[in-house]
Structure 1
Amino acid sequence: MRLVYVANSIIPSRAANSVHVMKMCDAFASLGYEVILVVPEVTPINEADLFDGYGVSRSFSIVRLPWVKMPGRGWWFALQAFFAIKRLKAGRVYGRHLPSLVLPSLAGLPTAYEAHAPISETMGKAGSFCLRVLCGARGFRKLVVISDALAGWYKNNTQLGGNDIQVAHDAASPAVNSQVSTLNRRSEGSFELGYVGQLYAGKGMEMIAAIAEKRPLFKFTIVGGDEGDIQQWRKHLQHLDNVRFTGFLPQAEAISLIEGFDVVLAPYQKRVTTAGGGGDISRWMSPLKIFEYMSAGKPIVASDLPVLREVLNDGDNALLCEPEDPDHWCEAIDRLHRESELRDRLGTKARSDFLKKFTWEARARSISMSVFNDAL
């Protein structure tokens, strides 16, 4: 069965959406689909380096379409994508670029759309119109969303009912060299806490800075972030010698660092912005880093936000803290520093939960069965 995945993600890039798209194509291919990814052509690439950079197998092909520099280029891309889908003789159509899915669905091709935010926030009235047309088309199968909270939004604000929506939290690849046991970690050296991700407002660097100030004997390693944000935080924290920034790292290197941390942090604030400082994804998000942490079997300290509680349970597979209370975070970290058995138990349970429910292959299998009724 040939599945064409359509996205307007820039590939390659450092954006989480590009990682998500590449991992899902690889996962669909592992189930037996013949997968073809259709994306904009922005810059020339070496495909061999591309697959290796994302840590995926060369199990699917990529078709690049012109990304014309003009107003409405997304709609032009959608038209080109439809002709490509017809030319490729797709049996299934899946994607994250809503305009590209309307015509295939109207043509009767089994089609599913994956949303990571309310359509009114990402595309406004035009997006709402596209969604109405898509959902009324004979080829439409389901809407896939990344959290129960986002499913609730679509149920309350669109014509979609519960049977039209599939919740599929984000995922990660199993860590090959995961070291779950932390019983002897403290004897090996200093206590190190890690964070992986962007440094946009609300992602949590504000909290890490406050904790690092209060706990100068602990080391804090920050993986990722744009160069401008890194320089800003380095200047802000220049009086501290226990915080280091690695900058962006290829995924394999980032995962290797995660496996060496004693504790990993997900200190999201009550408002979490996207690139450019706009929006607020705190109610809907399903952060990739949470699943990467779980995959590595690391003890997690995360913000106690409703959307994160869909995956993390306080005292079971993580410790949850008030998002904006540094003292609460310090108490949780101090407890993990003292209690190696607790670190081991939380990390072991997190990895167990991950392997049962949150691998890319498990996610793709759930979608193939519940959305397309394919038993692969």
Structure 2
Amino acid sequence: MDVFAARVDEAPPSGLESLQVHHVTPVGDGDPSSHAAAIAALNDELAALLDRAGPYDLVYERYSLWSLAGMEHAATAGIPGLLEVNAPLIEEQAAYRGLRDAGGADRVAARTFRAASVLLAVSTEVATWLERRGAAGDRVHVIPNGVDAERFRPDVRPATPGPPGSFTVGFVGSMKPWHGLDVLVEAFARLQERAPDARLLLVGDGPARAAVCADLAARGLAGVVHCTEAVAPHEVPGLLTSVDAAVAPYPQATGFYFSPLKVYEYLAAGRAVVASRVGQLETVIRHDVNGLLCPPGDAGALAAALERLRCEPALRARLGRAARATVLYKHTWDAVAARVLELAAAVEV
């Protein structure tokens, strides 16, 4: 297996040391007058690399704004081209990061979606977006994200265990505006008023971090909060088993399209999960069966759910066991890979 990437932050993980990694030149969102030439150069470079390194049995690509050579190479070579789509990237880029060459992004998307044999959407909402953008419905399939259930386990040694008798609430992820951290801070403050033994573990970094830390400090909660900033992936399992309840407090959002990795990691680690009742989360988490669901944006409901878990250790244990069972049943990466290969085998080339 070969990997083509614009950026590789770390060495391949254990078991994948034999991967051949090919580096391609990244393309940003430049001025439309010159951006078309940069896109063409990127795709010419990638096409040449694929031609030299092949032949391949299939091409699997994660959709990005400016790459189309992978799917067009597969179509030309007469092999399956599978495109994983994690988000409505064009609208997301425009809303959160700025998009100067919207026309170029539209054209790349149209060509890429047309060339792909199979489009793999991580949620129903992403699948709907693909179909609105012209992808044929019979080529669009929903496969949510998964988790490595051997790495995320309930028996991993806790990295930062709390004091005896304490109750630790945890959040893992990039601290971005759409993660509902303001709601978490308010909910935790309410919990702390009733339960001084409550603690908060925040794992991650991002643009909302400074505001979150300032809010916690202003409320006098800095002494019961542990913020780790960004951590290496191998540290996350032990941090998760350090918490009693793990939260995904997403705010209300029209067309919530995420398939949050953090939630699958929480479940695999056997944590008692509290998540917002939005989008795909309603199908992954069944209230009072393998987790608790709250109305999005409702700090009072989130605080009440956390207080319930604090007071009922048996409930935490039951939800944690069911959470782990949910992952083992259908949300491991092995299960995801098996479904992907099944779809690839069905492609008529």
Structure-2-length-normalised TM-score: 0.82
Check if 1:367 corresponds to 2:347.
no
What SS does the corresponding residue of 2:11 show, helix, strand or coil? Answer: helix
Check if 1:112 corresponds to 2:82.
yes
Residue 317 of structure 1 contacts residue 346 of structure 1 at CA under 8 Å; is this kept in 2?
yes
Paired letter, 1:62: V
Check if 1:50 corresponds to 2:50.
no
1:152-202 Cα distance to aligned partner (Å, 9 max, x none): 2323442411x2112110111114472379xxx999330001000122112
What SS does the corresponding residue of 2:45 show, helix, strand or coil? Answer: helix
Paired letter, 1:225: D
1:17-62 Cα distance to aligned partner (Å, 9 max, x none): xxxxxxxxxxxxxxxxxx11101258xx7xxx5224xx66324221
1:221 corresponds to which residue?
201
What SS does the corresponding residue of 1:202 show, helix, strand or coil? Answer: helix
User: What stretches of structure 2 of length at least 5 have no aligned partner?
Assistant: 94-100
* Percent of matched pairs sharing the same residue: 24
Residue 114 of structure 2 contacts residue 135 of structure 2 at CA under 8 Å; is this kept in 1?
no
Aligned 1:1-376 pairs, distance under 5 A: 35-40=1-6, 50-52=11-13, 57-67=16-26, 71-72=34-35, 73-89=38-54, 90-96=56-62, 97=64, 98-107=67-76, 108-118=78-88, 120-121=90-91, 124-137=102-115, 140-161=116-137, 163-176=138-151, 178-179=153-154, 188-216=164-192, 217=196, 218-226=198-206, 229-238=208-217, 239-240=220-221, 241-271=223-253, 283-373=256-346
Structure 1 residues 354 and 369: alpha-carbon distance in aligned structure 2, compared to 1, 3 A threshold: same
- Provide the rounded CA distance (Å) in 1 between the counterparts of 2:246 and 2:125: 25
Residue 152 of structure 2 contacts residue 268 of structure 2 at CA under 8 Å; is this kept in 1?
no
- Provide the rounded CA distance (Å) in 1 between the counterparts of 2:89 and 2:203: 31
Paired letter, 1:91: D
Structure 1 residues 130 and 176: alpha-carbon distance in aligned structure 2, compared to 1, 3 A threshold: closer
User: What stretches of structure 1 of length at least 5 have no aligned partner?
Assistant: 1-34, 272-279
Residue 58 of structure 2 contacts residue 74 of structure 2 at CA under 8 Å; is this kept in 1?
no
- Provide the rounded CA distance (Å) in 2 between the counterparts of 1:212 and 1:201: 18
Structure 1 residues 258 and 327: alpha-carbon distance in aligned structure 2, compared to 1, 3 A threshold: same
Structure-1-length-normalised TM-score: 0.76
CA RMSD of aligned residues (A): 2.7
- Provide the rounded CA distance (Å) in 1 between the counterparts of 2:75 and 2:341: 20
- Provide the rounded CA distance (Å) in 2 between the counterparts of 1:212 and 1:68: 41
In the alignment of these two chains, the number of paired residues is 317
- Provide the rounded CA distance (Å) in 1 between the counterparts of 2:20 and 2:334: 18
What is the deviation of 1:68?
6.6
What SS does the corresponding residue of 2:147 show, helix, strand or coil? Answer: coil
- Provide the rounded CA distance (Å) in 2 between the counterparts of 1:82 and 1:300: 44
